[in-house]
Structure 1
Amino acid sequence: MRRDVYQAIADPTRRQILMSLTKERKKVNALASQFNMTRQAVSLHVKFLQECGVISIEQEGRERYCNLEAQKLLEVADWLEPFKALWNNRLDRLDNLLNELQGKTKRK
């Protein structure tokens, strides 16, 4: 089964794992301690994220470290760009309308 970045961010737990890895790489056990679920459940999420290509795992001795592969998340940012432009346009129009309405109330 092919996994992609959108599947990675579809689950709230996986999104929290990704957010946690924005600060620094972490051991799987350290990630597991952040959640109210078993280490095995967190490991399954980690494996899923690795299959999606958004994290990599480095084995150092007995420890496994998770690293964020932020470049892969650019695919989501690129996909969201037209929506960002749409909302910026709408907010600019709202800002113009509010400025116009404020101008009318000051003149009265």
Structure 2
Amino acid sequence: MKLTAALFEPHVGAEIIVHLDDGTPFPLRLENVKRATRSSAQGPDTDTADCTVFSLGLAGPRQPVIKALTYPMTLPGFEPIHLFISPHAQDDDATYYNIAVT
């Protein structure tokens, strides 16, 4: 399956299940899909409908914070995919994660 921004955009607000190393499901909410612009990315398809250079912003509980690693994750209606997730911010209510797809 080719990962594109268009694949994820309809799921903003939905829950993505990250499967931790011990098999525990760890739900994160897909907050946003940010497409790369021509000025910030290389390649001929960075601002088209099938953009393949993009990032996903996710939010989860404040604690526990999962480590920056590659995890299998599931989006409703799709087979599990493996992506590198990195925590990048935290406030009183949540921890925020980022996935960069290039």
TM-score, normalised via structure 2 length: 0.25
Give the structure with the higher percent strand: 2
Larger Rg: 1
Give the structure with the higher percent helix: 1
